[in-house]
């Protein structure tokens, strides 16, 4: 009867539980480890194999090794080109172990020492007449067809565990009177498989990944008692498992077998080489044999099983005829690569293979890469006794990802002077909530990697350099995730915090500032005082720019702070000049244009007499605080003492600022802006949506639309005291539902063009000499353009009040001549000037000319001028060097 063991037993437990011949006594070893390193400058095959003076070849160690010793073979870039012959034996209590990379969750296949036979037809490693020997952690390869990577002949209690066989090697061959040989947790990639010859008995082939093998993955001929369990066999040539001759008592369980999958097939795809069945047992091998708990996906036109010469296409047909494969399933697996090892892992969708393996089948305690069985909470346990082992060579895990964050031990950023202590913190994600058991940090500086039970470690980097940190996280199941070079640590030469400040001003009053700060630590803050009452703070280091609002001499002060807390201050003086800026302020016909430009307020001045435009500059934001991006409407007017008064509507509040357009006076320079203030007029209307302004002398009248009604307040510039808001609609009887207003003055009268929701244009007139309001309905008397949506207005000499209407993207104008007592007909300004696609219009006047400024859908500013002396309109022209206004059409203009 076959002896069975649970999946929780180790390789050593497998060999110790099975009935074995008595061991031959051997001499005991004094040293526990012999070392081999073919790249060591001190290696010699005539020494004692110490770490300081290792052997150069594995063969030398094989000739010297004694029971209980481990031969540790270094992984180097140089292959071990030798045909190793192992002739020494261990004991069950003191086996001989040849190790390339000790089995753990961490080694990568390319870290395994590579063994290439000295003669192509030889085996890389041959074990003849030995017992109690383990071969683990090697790569066996060859560039040409060769003998088996590992050949085991007439040997007992041998374990070939956790190796890689690739390219042209013939895999593993077990021959002669060998018994209780275990081949476990190996990767066979495009190599031969495992061949078990006549006379061999009680072999265990378990937890291997056979990936596109050039022969049948497992072949046994006249070899009784073979167990083939928990292997993944993908796209092999010939059969996946072939039990031939008289190989009674075979066990084939818990394997995942796939012959074909779209996009993942192997190289053997024709009937001549692919094999026409996946699991085959000859007639003389069926006695006492069992096939169950496998998933088998054959070629569509081939058989899944052959039993005693009869082929069966499906597990159902096989079970019905033989009673075998009661728990087998056809599973077409789209394999995934488990972690970074490569191979053929189970996807989460392969539920038939998850938590469904027979736990009584002999095997090893982990999967091919060291992962222990774990319950998948999303899949029902269909294994006997509620077992949780998965079928195939790989256990499904819930380890999904790991990241590593790098910082300084005493600072937030992973940068500083050498020696620098870094703090590294890993963050792993496990979908099942399995606890993390170990973190493995490679610091990238050549120092030894570190295992840690906690996710945070510190490490001292002794030398300058840029280091990339790798981390692996293993959970309690053994599932591993890997994060490579995602975080870096920058270690600099020690040094002081310094700056090399450079400043320069372009003709448009644009300042360029480069602190050129340097520190071994991260620059955390640069604070720049531009010398005009504004400053800006930046996180980190770098150059910046600043737009001055006026020419002048400015001292730029830069304060730099690094992450260690050090601070340095640098200053430089710059002279900002602009000839167009000053020319636009000189006496003549002047206009001030302002608007919202994508998060800031910009202004420019034009001197039509001097034919010059000043550059567009930001309006200073000193005084009352509001965000320029929140400005929804603007208005402006000039006063008799040559001041520009600007108004901004922000969230129902109105703010005002002034600019001196005349000569310097009272400590205010020509062109200087005064701070913003809130307009605090009593009885402020609710829901203000639009504003306009016009001046009589030095008194400015502010008009607002609130709740569909028109209100007015005024203030003398010198006192700044605003009168209570008056309801113009109430005083005049103009219907509510006002949508747009525009104000202008003639003499001592205020005129307000009012556009109603009914499409009528009405004009309210406030006569301050007589102290009364009146109004007229221009539309009712003279008609008006259909589709009017916005009005603008300005006054010219001779008591003429010009009203401009925007309707359907076109601009129209009518004039009220208050001296003569009539209104002119409507003129089509778009037709006269070529203006089209207008989205906003404002008006200003200088002398006997009306200046219109428009926006198109892109925020571009155009200007047309109506010369009432010459009786003509100029063609529309883009304002030179204007910034685009937007995204809302916020614009205002005032003439002087």
3-state secondary structure 11-39: HHHHHHHCCCCCCCCCCCCCCCEEEECCC
Sheet holding 139-140, edge to edge: 80-81, 114-116, 139-140, 164-166, 187-189, 209-211, 232-234, 256-258, 295-297
Sign of CA dihedral 53, 59, 62, 63: negative
592 has which bridge partners?
605, 894
Answer whether residue 391 shows pLDDT above 70.
yes
DSSP state of 285: G
Confidence of residue 109 (pLDDT cuts 50, 70, 90): very low
Answer whether residue 339 shows pLDDT above 80.
no
Domain ranges of the chain: 399-492, 503-575, 579-895
Which of the two residues, 42 and 271, has the higher pLDDT score?
A: 42
Whole-number pLDDT of residue 723 = 96
d(CA 509, CA 710): 40
d(CA 520, CA 497): 8
Query: In 185-231, at which residue ranges do the beta strands (DSSP E only) sit?
Result: 187-189, 194-196, 204-206, 209-211, 218-221, 227-229
Sign of CA dihedral 270, 276, 282, 285: positive
d(CA 159, CA 177): 16
593, 859 in Cβ contact below 8 A? no
Place of tokens 């009040």: 801
Answer whether residue 617 shows pLDDT above 60.
yes
243, 252 in Cβ contact below 8 A? yes
Q: How many residues does this entry show for the chain?
A: 896
d(CA 764, CA 149): 104
Whole-number pLDDT of residue 143 = 65
For every residue of 734-781, which 3-state class applies, written as one string? CCCCEEEEEEEEECCEEEEEEEECCCCEEEEEEECCCCEEEEEEHHHH
Distances (CA, A) of 186 to 81, 135, 139, 172: 21, 11, 10, 10
User: Helix or strand or coil: residue 832?
Assistant: helix
d(CA 568, CA 544): 18
Distances (CA, A) of 746 to 590, 766, 768: 19, 10, 11
Task: Please compute the mean of the pLDDT values over residues 520-544 and round it to a whole number.
Answer: 93
d(CA 465, CA 304): 58
Whole-number pLDDT of residue 144 = 64
221, 199 in Cβ contact below 8 A? no
Answer whether residue 745 shows pLDDT above 60.
yes
Q: What is the pLDDT of residues 228-242, one digit of tens each?
A: 999 999 999 999 999
Task: Please compute the mean of the pLDDT values over residues 113-117 and round it to a whole number.
Answer: 93
Residues in Cβ contact with 186 at an 8 Å cutoff, skipping those fewer than 6 apart: 160, 161, 162, 163, 164, 165, 172, 208, 209, 368
Which of the two residues, 121 and 525, has the higher pLDDT score?
A: 525
Task: Please compute the mean of the pLDDT values over residues 634-645 and round it to a whole number.
Answer: 96
Tokens of 165: 């066989």
Average pLDDT value for the chain:
91
Answer whether residue 28 shows pLDDT above 70.
no
279, 305 in Cβ contact below 8 A? yes
Q: What is the pLDDT of residues 441-474, one digit of tens each?
A: 999 999 999 999 999 999 999 999 999 999 999 9
DSSP state of 64: H
Whole-number pLDDT of residue 104 = 52
Which of the two residues, 550 and 428, has the higher pLDDT score?
A: 428
How do 194-196 and 218-221 pair as beta strands?
Answer: parallel
Confidence of residue 376 (pLDDT cuts 50, 70, 90): very high
Cis omega (within 30 of 0) for bond into 887: yes
End-to-end CA distance of the chain: 114
Residues in Cβ contact with 121 at an 8 Å cutoff, skipping those fewer than 6 apart: 146, 147
Whole-number pLDDT of residue 16 = 27
**Percent of the chain surpassing pLDDT 70:** 94
d(CA 511, CA 524): 23
Distances (CA, A) of 468 to 424, 491, 519: 11, 11, 21
Distances (CA, A) of 463 to 94, 160, 277, 875: 45, 43, 61, 70
Confidence of residue 20 (pLDDT cuts 50, 70, 90): very low
867, 848 in Cβ contact below 8 A? yes
DSSP state of 264: -
How do 761-767 and 772-777 pair as beta strands?
Answer: antiparallel
Distances (CA, A) of 697 to 191, 333, 665, 694, 842: 100, 89, 18, 10, 21
Neighbouring CB atoms inside 10 A of 586's CB total: 12
Whole-number pLDDT of residue 540 = 87
Tokens of 581: 């800026």
Confidence of residue 340 (pLDDT cuts 50, 70, 90): low
CATH architecture under which domain 503-575 falls: Sandwich (2.60)
Neighbouring CB atoms inside 10 A of 495's CB total: 11
744 has which bridge partners?
751
How distant is the alpha carbon of residue 751 from its chain centre?
A: 59
Q: Is CATH 2.120.10.30 correct for 579-895? A: yes
Sheet holding 709-716, edge to edge: 688-696, 699-706, 709-716, 726-727
Confidence of residue 3 (pLDDT cuts 50, 70, 90): very low
d(CA 866, CA 852): 8
Within 13 A of 894's CA, how many CA atoms are on the CB side? Answer: 28
Answer whether residue 30 shows pLDDT above 70.
no
Whole-number pLDDT of residue 343 = 76
Answer whether residue 707 shows pLDDT above 50.
yes
Answer whether residue 814 shows pLDDT above 90.
yes
Answer whether residue 107 shows pLDDT above 60.
no
**Percent of the chain surpassing pLDDT 90:** 80
Whole-number pLDDT of residue 21 = 30
Neighbouring CB atoms inside 10 A of 615's CB total: 23
Tokens of 466: 């840029």
Whole-number pLDDT of residue 5 = 29
Answer whether residue 260 shows pLDDT above 90.
no
d(CA 374, CA 626): 60
Output the pTM of the full model: 0.67
Whole-number pLDDT of residue 341 = 56
Q: Do domains 399-492 and 503-575 have the same CATH topology?
A: yes
Q: 14 burial class (0-12, 13-18, 19+ CB within 10 angstroms)?
A: buried
Confidence of residue 26 (pLDDT cuts 50, 70, 90): very low
d(CA 592, CA 638): 9
Whole-number pLDDT of residue 18 = 27
Provide the CATH topology of domain 399-492: Immunoglobulin-like (2.60.40)
d(CA 430, CA 473): 10
d(CA 739, CA 617): 31
Task: Please compute the mean of the pLDDT values over residues 411-429 and round it to a whole number.
Answer: 97
Confidence of residue 103 (pLDDT cuts 50, 70, 90): low
d(CA 703, CA 691): 6
153, 165 in Cβ contact below 8 A? no
Tokens of 173: 């061959």
Smallest Cα–Cα separation from 357: which of 328, 322, 324, 378? Answer: 328
Tokens of 194: 């495992």
How do 96-99 and 70-73 pair as beta strands?
Answer: parallel
Whole-number pLDDT of residue 101 = 83
d(CA 654, CA 651): 8
């Amino acid at each position: 009867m076959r002896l069975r063991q649970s999946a929780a037993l180790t390789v050593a437990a497998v060999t110790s539980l099975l009935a074995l011949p008595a061991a031959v006594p051997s001499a005991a070893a004094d040293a526990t480890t012999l070392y081999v390193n073919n790249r060591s400058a001190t290696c010699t095959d005539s020494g004692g194999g110490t770490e300081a003076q290792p052997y150069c070849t594995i063969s030398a160690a094989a000739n010297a090794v004694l029971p209980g010793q481990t031969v540790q073979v270094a992984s180097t870039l140089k292959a071990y080109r030798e045909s190793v012959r192992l002739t020494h034996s261990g004991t069950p209590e003191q086996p001989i172990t040849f190790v390339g990379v000790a089995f753990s969750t961490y080694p990568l296949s390319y870290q395994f020492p590579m063994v290439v036979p000295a003669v192509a037809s030889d085996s890389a490693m041959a074990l003849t007449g030995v017992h109690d020997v383990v071969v683990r952690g090697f790569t066996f390869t060859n560039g040409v067809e060769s003998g088996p990577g590992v050949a085991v002949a007439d040997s007992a209690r041998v374990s070939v565990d956790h190796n890689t066989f690739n390219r042209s090697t013939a895999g593993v061959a077990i021959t002669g009177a060998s018994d209780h040989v275990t081949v476990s947790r190996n990767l066979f990639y495009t190599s031969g498989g495992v061949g078990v010859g006549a006379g061999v008995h009680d072999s265990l082939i378990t937890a291997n990944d056979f990936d596109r093998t050039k022969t049948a993955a497992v072949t046994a001929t006249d070899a009784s008692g073979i167990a083939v369990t928990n292997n993944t066999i993908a796209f092999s040539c010939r059969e996946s498992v072939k039990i031939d001759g008289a190989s009674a008592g075979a066990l084939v369980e818990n394997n995942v077998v796939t012959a074909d999958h779209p996009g993942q097939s192997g190289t053997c795809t024709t009937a001549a080489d692919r094999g026409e069945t996946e699991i085959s047992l000859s007639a003389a091998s069926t006695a006492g044999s069992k096939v169950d708990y496998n998933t088998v996906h054959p070629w569509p036109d081939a058989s899944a099983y052959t039993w005693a010469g009869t082929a069966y296409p499906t597990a159902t047909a096989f079970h019905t005829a033989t009673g075998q494969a009661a728990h087998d399933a056809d599973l077409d697996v789209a394999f995934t690569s488990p972690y970074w090892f490569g191979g053929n892992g189970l996807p989460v969708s392969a539920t038939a293979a998850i938590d469904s393996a027979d736990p009584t089948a002999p095997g090893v305690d982990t999967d091919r890469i060291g992962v222990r069985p774990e319950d998948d909470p999303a899949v029902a346990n269909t294994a006997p006794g509620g077992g949780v082992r998965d079928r195939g060579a790989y256990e499904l895990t819930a380890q999904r990802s790991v990241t590593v964050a790098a910082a300084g031990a005493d600072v937030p950023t992973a940068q500083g002077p050498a020696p620098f202590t870094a703090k590294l913190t890993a963050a792993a994600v496990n979908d099942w909530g399995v606890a993390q058991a170990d973190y493995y940090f490679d610091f990238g500086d050549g120092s030894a990697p570190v295992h840690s039970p906690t996710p945070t470690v510190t490490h001292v980097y002794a030398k300058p350099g840029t280091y990339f940190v790798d981390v692996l996280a293993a959970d309690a199941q053994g599932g591993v995730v890997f994060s490579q070079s995602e975080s870096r640590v920058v270690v600099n030469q020690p040094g002081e915090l310094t700056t090399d400040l450079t400043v320069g001003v372009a003709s448009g009053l644009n300042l360029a500032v480069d602190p050129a700060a340097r520190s071994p630590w991260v620059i955390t803050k640069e604070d720049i005082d531009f010398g005009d009452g504004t400053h800006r703070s930046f996180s980190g280091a770098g150059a910046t720019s600043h737009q001055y609002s006026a020419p002048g001499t400015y001292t730029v002060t830069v304060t730099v702070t690094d992450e260690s807390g050090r601070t340095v201050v640098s200053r430089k003086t710059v002279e900002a000049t602009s000839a167009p800026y000053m020319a636009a302020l000189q006496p003549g016909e002047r206009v001030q244009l302002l608007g919202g430009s994508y998060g800031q307020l910009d202004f420019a001045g034009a001197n039509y007499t001097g034919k010059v435009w000043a550059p567009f500059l930001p309006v200073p934001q000193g005084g009352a605080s509001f965000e320029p991006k929140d400005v929804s409407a603007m208005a402006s007017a000039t006063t008799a003492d040559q001041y520009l008064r600007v108004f901004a509507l922000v969230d129902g509040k109105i703010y005002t600022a002034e600019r001196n357009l005349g000569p310097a006076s009272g400590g205010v320079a020509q062109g200087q802006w005064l701070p913003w203030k809130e307009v605090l007029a009593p009885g402020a209307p609710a829901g203000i949506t639009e504003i306009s302004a016009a001046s009589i002398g030095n008194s400015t009248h502010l008009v607002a639309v609130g709740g569909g009604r028109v209100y007015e307040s005024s203030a003398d510039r010198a006192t700044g005291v605003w009168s209570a808001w008056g309801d113009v609609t109430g005083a005049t009887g103009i219907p509510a539902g006002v949508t747009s207003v525009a104000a202008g003055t003639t003499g001592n009268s205020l005129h307000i063009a009012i556009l109603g929701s009914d499409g009528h244009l009405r004009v309210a007139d406030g006569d301050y000499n007589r102290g009364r309001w009146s109004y007229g309905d221009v539309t009712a008397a003279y008609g008006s353009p259909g589709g009017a949506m916005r009005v603008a207005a300005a006054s010219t000499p001779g008591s003429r009040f010009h009203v401009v209407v925007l309707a359907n993207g076109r601009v129209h104008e009518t004039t009220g001549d208050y001296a003569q007592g009539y209104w002119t007909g409507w003129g089509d300004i778009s037709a006269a000037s070529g203006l089209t696609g207008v989205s906003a219009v404002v008006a200003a006047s200088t002398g006997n000319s009306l200046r219109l400024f428009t926006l198109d859908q892109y925020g571009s500013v155009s200007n047309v001028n109506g010369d009432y002396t010459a009786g003509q309109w100029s063609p529309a022209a883009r304002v030179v060097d204007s910034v685009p206004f937007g995204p809302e059409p916020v614009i205002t203009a005032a003439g002087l």
